[in-house]
Amino acid sequence: MNRWAPPTDDDPAATDIAAPLDITRLLTTITDNLVGMIYRCRTDAIWTMEYVSEGCHKLTGYRPDELVFNTRVSYDQMTLPEDRERVGRAIHVALDAGEAFDVEYRIRHADGRVRWVLERGVGLRNAHGQLAWIEGFIQDISERMAANEALHEAVRRYRSLFEHATEGIFQTTPEGRYLNANPALARIYGHDSPDALIAHLHDIPRQLYVLPERRAEFVRLMQEQGAVRNFESQVYHCDGRIIWISENARAVKDADGSVQLFEGTVVDVTERKQHDAELEYQASHDSLTGLPNRSLLRDRIEQAIGKAQRDGHQVAVVFVDLDHFKLINDSLGHHVGDRLLLEVADRLIGCIRGHDSVARQGGDEFVIVLTEQHDEHEIIAIVSRLLEVISQPWVDEGQEYGLSCSVGISCYPQDGDDPDALLRCADAAMYKAKASGRGTYHFYTPELNQAISERLELENSLRHALERDEFRVYYQPRIEVASGRIIGAEALIRWDCPGKGLIPPDSFISIAEETGLIIPIGQWILAEACRQNSAWQRVGLPPISISVNLSPIQFRHAGLVSSVADALAQAALDPAYLELELTESFVMQDAERINVAMQALKKLGVDIAVDDFGTGYSSLSYLKRFPVDRLKVDKSFVRDIDSDPDDAAIVRAIITLGHALGLKVVAEGVETSAHLDFLRQHGCDELQGYYFSRPVPAAGMEALLRGPTSADCRCRSALAAPRQTAGHETDFIF
């Protein structure tokens, strides 16, 4: 039945419905079933309750009869002491103003728990107009207060996170205006506060982003995808610096899907980006010179080739190798070698144009990539200038050094169409330049492939030559002018390579120095020369001095003095019969340190000679302090002394200088009687050259030492009769 339909006469309830409304019963029903307590209390000091509804028990834990007239407990006592004064004050203020009051406070339930309640009430006056009662309603709001407290706590925590987060937090409009920002974001961008940031940055794309199109990309992704992750951009710091940021954000949309705002986080990743850039730089650049390394060089060549293909130009790959760098590096130390490499790098950079590249291939090898070349003449012009610039003397800590380099050139497209091919061809051309006398350049030709193969084969064979006993020592006699006797011999190494015959040192010594094999090879020839000289003396041959050339690398080796002493001891040879030769240019490279090493060798009792004298840049102030016994005049000056006045003057000066310093002077490369006459006339002490004998094996040298009975003894028959010189006769028997 529809409970709202009008009653009919036959309806049993019709009679009841027509009965009069019992207001008292209705109010009682409502009062008893309210969730809360209706009350009436006096306005005395303890708010004595005169009436409370049945809701009292659920609200307070006490029955109405226990509260009314404070039978068991007064309601005022149930109010927590810390709230009591506040509540009383609030009620009195409202009552005095004739207004209803509304106050929240805590009471202690009969079970001991604390409940939050909301009390609403009004004051009632008696017949005399005096405030006498309060009537009102009290309800339990503990759940709401707990929910509010939880909400406040969540808000507090969120606010704390927002305020103290290390990440920047923001809200912006899609158009680029900040709505909200936290202190961390202000710090990231260099502002004093979020308010200052919001006030300053009112046009994010133009004011903040270094590239406005980056902000446009950010907005596009937000519109299309609704979020971005790790979106990195460069932005302006407040002080003008450029920093890197990474953003994570989402789009906040309304009910119809329109984007209302963007919110997200910002992290300053400048330090990481700088670290990554540094790692990338280190991976692609040489740590010493800062030039592109081999890895980046390949990329530069590939780019140059790609551009040349489009523009129809040539690309030249120029391989630059310093001449004798290993000698400088090993003799003077890596610290000097490093400074030299830095100097060369600067010089090379100064030789190229802005669109060219210089890279360090490794060691003392540099590569220049010349782009936009039209013909060979343009390349030659740049390379010629390069050679000129590199050849300028280098002064380091007051010491001057002569420099030179060998240059190999390959060109795209004729020599190759990829980096490896062009580098390989340029490298081959560089070795050809070295073989041509160094200090020059050479273009790649297909014939060089054979030369490369031969050199690699030679290097591989050289690594096994010592263990296979393939080295031989040849001896070239040294003649004393005054007596005509053989007083010494220079020990010269030869390599008896299977299938190639006897290989002269010029063909393999440089390889031995580059590979480090010069150390064991040098020790072997030193020991063999001492052994052979001792053997000659034991069979009664006239004692002579054997000269052994020392490589600068060998001289710098820490074990040199001990290896010389061991060679003498094992051969039982008097140190007076061993002479060690060093080139003039090497002696002057690090004079003080080399002088110390020479003194250590002299303590063993050996002689020391300066070879190739006149070709370097000796300082007399150093030379006179060195424990040197002989100066050997380089054969390049002796060759034309009978026809070139300059060479003649140089040789005379060296002889005079040597004698002034108390040294013996030896002339190398004596090949004609005219050479002999000149040197004898000007007082040269000793001679060496083809005029007397070519370098010969040990057996041939022994024959020379045994005297004129040997047909090979050219030195004994050089002058069959006395020669007239300087107005008197002197017998020279060679």
Tokens of 304: 């140059």
- The continuous run of DSSP H or E covering 234 comes out as strand 227-236
Backbone angles phi, psi at 255, to 5 degrees: -60, -30
- For residue 97, give Cα distances in angstroms to 85, 94, 123, 237, 474: 18, 5, 10, 59, 131
Please give the pLDDT value at position 678. Answer: 93
Domains of the chain: 21-143 (3.30.450.20), 165-274 (3.30.450.20), 293-446 (3.30.70.270), 471-722 (3.20.20.450)
Residue 716 has a pLDDT of: 43
What's the pLDDT tens digit per position in 81-111?
999 999 999 999 999 999 999 999 999 999 9
pLDDT band at 33 (very low <50, low <70, confident <90, very high): low
User: Is a pLDDT exceeding 70 seen at residue 619?
Assistant: no
- What's the rounded Cα separation, in Å, for the pair 352 and 360? 15
CA end-to-end distance (rounded Å), the chain: 156
**Mean pLDDT, the chain, integer:** 86
Share of the chain above pLDDT 70, in %: 88
Is residue 585 predicted with pLDDT exceeding 80? no
Inform me whether the pLDDT recorded for 334 exceeds 90: no
Write out pLDDT tens, residues 395-404. 888 888 888 8
Q: pLDDT value at position 225?
A: 92
The Cα 688–Cα 638 span in angstroms is 11
- Lowest mean pLDDT of 220-234, 244-258, 311-325, 449-463, name the range: 449-463
Which pLDDT score, from 0 to 100, does residue 29 have? 67
Q: In the prediction, which pLDDT does 516 show?
A: 81
Mean pLDDT throughout 44-64?
91
- In this prediction, residues 712-721 reach a mean pLDDT of 42
Q: How many whole angstroms separate alpha carbon 419 and alpha carbon 396?
A: 36
Q: What integer pLDDT is reported at residue 555 of this predicted model?
A: 77
pLDDT of residue 590: 58
For residues 632-654, one letter each, b for 16 or more C-beta atoms within 10 angstroms of the residue's C-beta and e for the rest, the string is bbbbebbbebeeeeebbebbbeb
* Region 545-568 average pLDDT: 87
Q: What is the DSSP string of 249-311?
A: EEEEE-TTS-EEEEEEEEEE-HHHHHHHHHHHHHHHB-TTT--B-HHHHHHHHHHHHHHHHHH
Q: pLDDT tier at 613 (50, 70, 90 boundaries)?
A: confident
Name the nearest CA neighbour of 651 among 678, 624, 623: 678
**Cα 2 to the center of its chain, rounded Å:** 91
CA distance 75 to 110: 11
Average pLDDT over residues 9-24: 55
Which pLDDT value is given to residue 618? Answer: 52
Give one DSSP letter per residue of 613-642, joined into a string: ETSS---HHHHTTS---EEEE-HHHHTTTT
Which neighbouring-strand residues pair with 362?
Answer: 365
Tokens for 103? 């106050």
The residue behind tokens 């103290």 is 164
Mean pLDDT of 696-709: 86
pLDDT at 621 (0 to 100): 58
More confident call, 624 vs 342: 342
- Determine the Cα–Cα distance for residues 559 and 526; give it in Å rounded to an integer: 13
Looking at 165-211, list the stretches that DSSP marks H as alpha helix, in order from N- to C-terminal side: 183-189, 194-200, 204-207
Looking at the DSSP bridge assignments, the partners of residue 172 are 178, 262
Confidence of residue 582 (pLDDT cuts 50, 70, 90): confident
Is the model's pLDDT at 634 over the cut of 90? Answer: no
Please give the share of the chain, as a percent, with pLDDT higher than 90: 57
* Token pair in block for residue 331: 């003799």
Angle between helices 673-681 and 645-660 (to 10 degrees): 40
In the predicted structure, residue 553 carries a pLDDT above the cut 90: no
The first and second tokens of residue 322, run together, are 């310093």
| Residue that has been written with the tokens 């002889």 in this structure | 655
SS3 661: coil
Pairing of strands 357-362, 37-42: unpaired
The two tokens of residue 51 are: 């009436």
Q: Are 545 and 576 in contact (CB under 8 A)?
A: yes
Segment 328-335 mean pLDDT: 74
Q: Using 50, 70 and 90 to split pLDDT, how confident is the model at 2?
A: very low
Residue 460 identity (one-letter amino acid) = N
Average pLDDT over residues 232-246: 95
Q: Whose structure tokens read 């899907």? A: 257
Q: Please tell me the distance from the alpha carbon of residue 614 to that of residue 66, in angstroms, as a whole number.
A: 130
Q: Which helix (H) or strand (E) holds 492?
A: strand 486-497
3-state secondary structure at position 40? strand
Helix axes 334-349, 325-332, angle to 10 degrees: 140
> For 410, how many CA atoms within 13 A lie in the half-sphere containing its CB?
30
Q: Is 161 helix (H, G, I), strand (E, B) or coil?
A: helix
CA 330 to mean position of chain CA atoms: 25
pTM (two decimals): 0.51
Query: How many residues are recorded in the chain?
Result: 734
Structure confidence at residue 723 (pLDDT): 38
- 354 phi, psi to nearest 5 deg: -60, -30
* pLDDT of 535: 96
Q: For residue range 638-681, list pLDDT tens digits in order.
A: 999 989 999 999 999 999 988 988 999 999 999 999 999 999 99
Q: With contact defined as beta carbons under 8 Å apart, do 172 and 181 qualify?
A: no
HSE-up of 234 (CA within 13 Å, CB side)? 8
Question: Within 194-253, where are the H helices?
Answer: 194-200, 204-207, 212-225
Q: How many CB atoms lie within 10 A of CB 149?
A: 11
Query: Do the Cβ atoms of 235 and 189 come closer than 8 Å?
Result: yes
> Residue 470 corresponds to which tokens in the numbers above?
């393939």
